[in-house]
Structure 1
């Protein structure tokens, strides 16, 4: 079972339950999948929950608003090859979240005497040939009726078709600002979309000039690692331009408009804007 389902989600569930529902102590313990983790590891995780709760509360979030939205604590169940799908009932005390995984323990593999656990299949860049959820649902009939050996060629054709299509999507403004937008990289070629400043997460860094900053990041998880190494360039680019004219429009673009552009825009908002969406160059912690 992936760590995300056996540790990360249980930890976050315990933190949220304890932070938002202090009056319900029965929900404060970490819920672990049965017969998976050792007693020592469980104890170590449980001992850190209070620290995580303190850090969470220190973020200054509106906990009462979060509590109203959640309504009640979270209870976890697991459905894997080892654990059958649990019966789902209308539990008035908890929100039931079922953590599903198709992972299988493989003994004696990967040079490990105890074997290893295959991932949850969420690293789509490793097996999807570039296929995205949007394309899958749009073309699901032909994809599901095509033999496995023919799928790579079909997917490449569908991707090429999408790349050739004229994009009509507009960039999305990031509230509460009025001038920070995110969008797809392909929108940069649309003459109908014009911005004063552009940050292209995938563009060639050597082609950066003036009001355009290219970060040269890859895609997927590799791109996210690349991004961490070049955020200092964004940190320099923003004040150099917006300090002169804070009304300039800024587009942050990546291949999907939902990945690296979101992370970059979040960094910009946290570093250079206040809670009202106004530009603020007060001293903040470095990235």
Structure 2
């Protein structure tokens, strides 16, 4: 590739220039809006199944989702396959069991019909869960805790489930475009991943009781042919369907389209990498102003987006929320947290555990809340939460105005992501745990909050839970911690327990490494 000194662009620079020209906000929003029509049509084929967005890209493709999930494409990349116990997404399995299945929405820009999150990550997840459930049920049969008449509820057979393993399908179901050699390589790892799930402390018993049929993925894209008069009812299948909808066209070429007023270029997977194009706009903003934005046209769209984002910023600032001005240059947009709800983390002396998992009893009391910093604002929506909070640990970079009767009941420890500071969390953990200890000794109810309520606050609560509570969920002032050598497995078990309640938790690997370094008395990079 050659750069010409006479001012001519190289092929690379010319391609980048064309991409920047076509990858405008208006092109992206028009593409998302068009693809959302397809998503809506698919969701209406099975209206009883909950619609779930795979974060972050999938969240753009419908105005209303029942829930969200977080299956990463990197966990399905060739030769990088993994089953990550930090992102178990068990709420998806529970919801699917309750509703008879679910529809997950995602997209990809890479010219493929489906992202790797759908081609491999989710199929691996369903297979591992199915095998863990079967192992659990066989174990219960051996111990006499599960009777054959109970087996009949989910196997349609009154014989021993061990003799009828085929009725609980544990096969690895991958789409046809995944090569056999890759499928074989993944199958070799399934047993190891199943063992990791069983050792993580995940509540397999709860999932087993909820699921009457094994999980199985199905794939639908814009190239899928569906005969509307032959769409089966989801209850007719002998499995619990996880319907994977890839929202956009698989073409990797920008296609020119024309409406009655404007021409625009279609972008496959336009919702991906929102920091590079959205200019501070969030999916919530988009769907609240979708008609104004689409009708504004290419020339006015940028200004319309800027007005919407600024108006929302001023509104939140007047309410006392953290609302920094948005700049396009080097934009680092935080996730929209306007609808983030507080997560109650029940931990008390009436918690109990068995040999596989920590579970709350039916009459527990709440010790922790995990949430975003905007939860502490005195709004009607969150007034009930704040009336139950005795102390607040704010882990956000910015302070917030908090009214508590005791000035010592509020601690602000500014922390940032591990991508910005590899030691931010590690350096602040001693003060955070000490603050929690002093307040928990007084039986105070604690709110731990960060900007999103998904990463830093989750890691802080993990450190508090491991440092100050025993493995039964009882506060013991750190006595059991001083007598125990914390391993990665034990920390993973505690994290799985936290994520059972904080289902939107997305702790980063860098922050978890800092927590492990703190718990083992090492450095932030010791994990």
| 33 and 254 in structure 1: CA distance in 2 versus 1, 3 angstrom threshold | same
How large is the RMSD of aligned CA atoms in angstroms? 3.8
* Partner Cα distance (1:21, 1:65) in 2: 13
Match of 1:215 in 2: 415
TM-score w.r.t. the length of structure 1 is: 0.73
Matched, 1:159 2:337: no
| 60 and 122 in structure 1: CA distance in 2 versus 1, 3 angstrom threshold | same
Q: Which of the numbers 214, 233, 240 marks the counterpart of 1:95?
A: 240
Q: Deviations over 1:145-194 (max 9, x none)?
A: 44354243233234324423426999836321444223332455659857
Match of 1:203 in 2: 398
* Partner Cα distance (2:475, 2:241) in 1: 40
* Partner Cα distance (2:206, 2:291) in 1: 42
Match of 1:9 in 2: 122
Matched, 1:181 2:369: yes
* Partner Cα distance (1:120, 1:279) in 2: 50
Q: Which of the numbers 59, 71, 76 marks the counterpart of 2:217?
A: 76
Match of 1:129 in 2: 279
Deviates more, 1:43-52 or 1:169-178: 169-178
| 243 and 265 in structure 1: CA distance in 2 versus 1, 3 angstrom threshold | closer
| 172 and 48 in structure 1: CA distance in 2 versus 1, 3 angstrom threshold | same
* Partner Cα distance (2:221, 2:173) in 1: 16
| 62 and 185 in structure 1: CA distance in 2 versus 1, 3 angstrom threshold | closer
Matched, 1:52 2:193: yes
* Partner Cα distance (1:273, 1:21) in 2: 32
| 183 and 61 in structure 1: CA distance in 2 versus 1, 3 angstrom threshold | closer
TM-score w.r.t. the length of structure 2 is: 0.43
* Partner Cα distance (2:291, 2:464) in 1: 41
* Partner Cα distance (2:466, 2:315) in 1: 34
Matched, 1:147 2:297: yes
Shift of 1:53: 0.7
What pairs up with 1:260-279 in 2 under 5 angstroms? 260-274=456-470, 275-276=472-473, 278=475
What pairs up with 1:12-51 in 2 under 5 angstroms? 12-21=125-134, 23=161, 24-25=165-166, 27-35=169-177, 37-51=178-192
Q: Deviations over 1:59-84 (max 9, x none)?
A: 23332221111221112111224444
* Structure 1 runs not aligned, ≥5 long: 108-117, 218-223
Shift of 1:213: 0.9
| 166 and 199 in structure 1: CA distance in 2 versus 1, 3 angstrom threshold | closer
Contact preservation (8 Å) 1:254, 1:261: yes
Q: What SS does structure 2 have at the residue aligned with 1:244?
A: helix
Contact preservation (8 Å) 2:397, 2:416: yes
Contact preservation (8 Å) 2:391, 2:439: no
Q: What SS does structure 1 have at the residue aligned with 2:200?
A: coil
Q: Deviations over 1:198-243 (max 9, x none)?
A: 2323338xxxx993211033xxxxxx74587533235322332233
Q: Give the structure with higher Rg (CA).
A: 2
Contact preservation (8 Å) 1:183, 1:256: yes
Contact preservation (8 Å) 1:21, 1:73: no
* Partner Cα distance (1:255, 1:277) in 2: 28
Contact preservation (8 Å) 2:215, 2:239: yes
* Structure 2 runs not aligned, ≥5 long: 1-113, 136-160, 254-267, 322-337, 348-365, 400-407, 488-515, 518-527
* Partner Cα distance (2:189, 2:223) in 1: 28
* Partner Cα distance (1:262, 1:88) in 2: 41
| 226 and 58 in structure 1: CA distance in 2 versus 1, 3 angstrom threshold | farther
The higher-RCO structure (CA 8 Å, 6+ apart) is: 2
